């Protein structure tokens, strides 16, 4: 456990020792604030719903911009070989990289807490839905991170890592769209709806955090972290 925490701290420091980390946080906060203000001043609605509705799209570009460096940069600079000589297990390194990105995500979301505070001061929002929205955002973001880490482990090029991650996330998100599901046979449409990020995230946004939604997101995270460990483990063996 100490090894995981040590690597996690190192990875987290790398986010904030680089201008990219601050740029990503700034862009995320600007986009979040702009979406909320749009809803507040144009629609005249003091609600966090609009922000949560756009989070899957915002995360689709924000999180791959962070994960694309996780393994790709290590391989490009040659530090991955040094890392693999340390007395740590492959899964420990993978978990540490995931944990550091998850903490970074949590910090970004924590900084948006001013929005629900403003909403509470102005009106009388359903706090349960707001809490559910943040839990859903963490689960959704965790899935994006796991996918991004796996893609980063199979390429040395950060741009390719970013593009591939966005593409896979987009596919997982769009397959639950009704325009696509209506064109598919019922059996295929059912699978597409179940596998879609949007299906489970929208379910949580209704204020109902079901075990099925939690299991779905955790399964995505575990599956892609397993793939990540396999890729890194094979490289270490070679």
Q: Is 178 exposed, middle or buried (0-12, 13-18, 19+ CB in 10 A)?
A: exposed
CA distances from 233 to 84, 115, 217, 226 (A): 9, 43, 24, 10
Structure-token pair, residue 217: 């997101």
Q: How far apart are CA 98 and CA 64, in angstroms?
A: 13
Token pair 């949007």: residue = 198
As averages over each run of 10 residues, the pLDDT of the chain (238 residues) reads 82 84 91 80 66 91 90 63 66 91 95 85 77 94 96 88 94 83 76 87 88 94 94 66
pLDDT at 82: 56
pLDDT at 237: 45
pLDDT at 21: 85
Q: How far apart are CA 165 and CA 132, in angstroms?
A: 26
User: pTM for this one?
Assistant: 0.90
pLDDT at 41: 63
Q: How far apart are CA 55 and CA 28, in angstroms?
A: 10
Per domain, the residue ranges of the chain are 2-237
Query: In 3-state terms, the chain is what percent helix, strand and coil (to 5)?
Result: 85, 0, 15
């Amino acid at each position: 456990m100490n090894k995981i925490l040590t690597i996690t701290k190192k990875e987290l420091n790398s986010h904030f020792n680089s201008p990219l980390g601050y740029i990503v946080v700034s862009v995320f906060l600007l986009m979040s604030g702009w979406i909320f203000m749009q809803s507040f001043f144009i629609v005249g609605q003091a609600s966090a719903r609009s922000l949560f509705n756009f989070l899957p799209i915002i995360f689709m570009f924000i999180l791959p911009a962070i994960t694309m460096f996780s393994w790709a940069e290590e391989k490009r600079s040659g530090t991955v070989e040094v890392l693999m000589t340390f007395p740590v297990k492959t899964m420990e390194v993978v978990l540490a990289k995931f944990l550091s990105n998850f903490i970074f995500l949590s910090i970004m979301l924590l900084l948006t807490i001013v929005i629900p505070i403003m909403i509470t001061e102005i009106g009388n929002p359903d706090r349960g839905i707001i809490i559910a929205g943040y839990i859903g955002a963490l689960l959704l973001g965790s899935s994006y991170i796991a996918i991004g880490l796996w893609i980063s482990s199979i390429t040395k090029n950060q741009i390719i890592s970013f593009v591939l991650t966005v593409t896979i996330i987009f596919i997982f998100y769009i397959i639950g769209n009704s325009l696509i599901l209506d064109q598919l046979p019922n059996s295929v449409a059912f699978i597409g709806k179940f596998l879609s990020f949007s299906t489970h995230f929208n379910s949580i946004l209704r204020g109902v955090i079901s075990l099925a939604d939690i299991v779905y997101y955790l399964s995505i995270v575990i599956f892609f972290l397993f793939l990540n460990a396999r890729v890194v483990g094979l490289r270490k063996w070679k």
